[in-house]
Amino acid sequence: MIQTIYIERQVADHPRAREVLARFPAAQRIDCDRYTEIFNPKNQNFRLQKQQPALIIAHKFGKRVLSAPEGYGIGGQHNYYFSHMLNCIYDCRYCFLQGMYRSAHYVLFINYDDFFASMDRTLANHPSEDVWFFSGYDCDSLALDPVTGFATHLLTFLESRQRAFVELRTKSTQIRALLAAPAIPNAVVAFSLTPTETADRFEHKAPPIAKRLQAMRQLADKGWPLGLRFDPLIFDDAFEERYRRLFEEVFAALAPQSLHSVTLGAFRMPQRFFRNLIRLYPSEPLFASPLQNRSGLVSYSKTREEEMIRFCLKELTTYVPPERLFSCSADTRQHGNPPVQILQAAGVPKR
């Protein structure tokens, strides 16, 4: 799988780096001073690099825990995110990473303890309050876990920090570390899901929806809180039919009681990233479909987006209580409980 590994000289002797290198004995190893020498140069082609990404082992300096966008969250007051990895082994056509990063190489920051120390400092800034940390913004949280072992370290950290809540966002079925550990209430394993045809069409290399649901069931059986992330919602003429079938499939596999939260978000992306995506995939119909620039984010029209969210909420409230539903809008860039008017329009009775 990995044929080339770049490694920063300062971490070359780190035990974790050696473990990773030992997993790929045939890989060509190239030393570097900083990962940015490989990752940041201009004029790289993300699409070509996706043919055979390299792995870059590095040390993360500077801020390791960042504030989540205003209003973003799933019920918590204090929301942050962190990225122990950059880039993802999957190749989802709609993914913003290919618009944001110049390189498709995977970067693994192996100074996990520094991330945890940053999380501790963040917790100290909010004494006696719960704090949410979101993982999976710059990568898939679990896809490379057999290589990184990050989940095990994270769970150990979380066991003694009941105020720290983590969302592990993933499409992966690499859940061995979670199955091997006792479930803890402050780690939510959140799976991104799209209709099966949509996953087949856009989510290259990612496990099929049925496999993800199987993994979710295994986790639910062990008591892990689960999240459903219907994000991005992708529109075409068969939108309602596809998503109705998806919801039926999901709730045939999972008991609603196993769910911590369900979130929705229509396809949306910063304009600058979207332009890069068009350059990379000029023939992709998704990028040519009716999208608008709304407040710097490329998304569907406000009307279309509201219709999509309304439809999904109406369907989902037949399965889960409204207080577990959250939606994200391109306009407000908020990720909160759906506004009352949308719930009412969706036929959800006012509480």
Binding residues vs another protein (CB under 8 A) = 41, 43-45, 47-49, 51-52, 197-198, 201, 234-238, 278, 281-290
Closest distance between another protein and the C-beta of residue 238, in Å?
A: 7
Of 95 and 226, which has the nearer Cβ to another protein?
95
Closest distance between another protein and the C-beta of residue 237, in Å?
A: 5
Closest alpha carbon to 226 in 194, 268, 180, 178: 178
Of 70 and 200, which has the nearer Cβ to another protein?
200
Closest distance between another protein and the C-beta of residue 14, in Å?
A: 28
Of 201 and 217, which has the nearer Cβ to another protein?
201
Q: Which residues pair with 259 in a beta bridge?
A: 226
Of 235 and 326, which has the nearer Cβ to another protein?
235
Q: Which residues pair with 32 in a beta bridge?
A: 8
Closest alpha carbon to 316 in 235, 259, 236: 259
Q: Maximum Cα–Cα distance for the chain, whole Å?
A: 61
User: For the purposes of burial, counting CB atoms within 10 Å of the CB of 68, is it exposed (0-12), middle (13-18) or buried (19 or more)?
Assistant: middle
Closest alpha carbon to 81 in 111, 130, 57, 115: 115
DSSP per-residue string spanning 25-65? TTSEEEEES-THHHHS-SS--HHHHTTS--EEEE---S--E
Closest distance between another protein and the C-beta of residue 210, in Å?
A: 17
Of 43 and 257, which has the nearer Cβ to another protein?
43
Of 74 and 97, which has the nearer Cβ to another protein?
97
Q: Report whether the peptide linkage leading into residue 321 is cis, meaning its omega lies within 30 degrees of zero.
A: no
SS3 string, 80-114, reads EEECCEECCCCEECCCCHHHHCCCCCEEEECCHHH
Closest distance between another protein and the C-beta of residue 146, in Å?
A: 23
DSSP per-residue string spanning 167-184? EEEE-----HHHHTS---
Give the list of residues 6+ apart from residue 278 with CB closer than 8 angstroms, or none: 284, 287
Of 25 and 285, which has the nearer Cβ to another protein?
285
The number of angstroms, rounded, from the C-alpha of 201 to the middle of its chain's C-alpha atoms is 19
Closest distance between another protein and the C-beta of residue 30, in Å?
A: 15
Closest distance between another protein and the C-beta of residue 343, in Å?
A: 28
Of 93 and 222, which has the nearer Cβ to another protein?
93
Structure tokens at 161: 């920090």
Closest distance between another protein and the C-beta of residue 51, in Å?
A: 6
Of 129 and 241, which has the nearer Cβ to another protein?
241
Closest distance between another protein and the C-beta of residue 293, in Å?
A: 11
C-alpha span between 350 and 47 (Å, rounded): 48
C-alpha span between 107 and 127 (Å, rounded): 33
- Contact status, residue 272 vs residue 344, Cβ threshold 8 Å: no
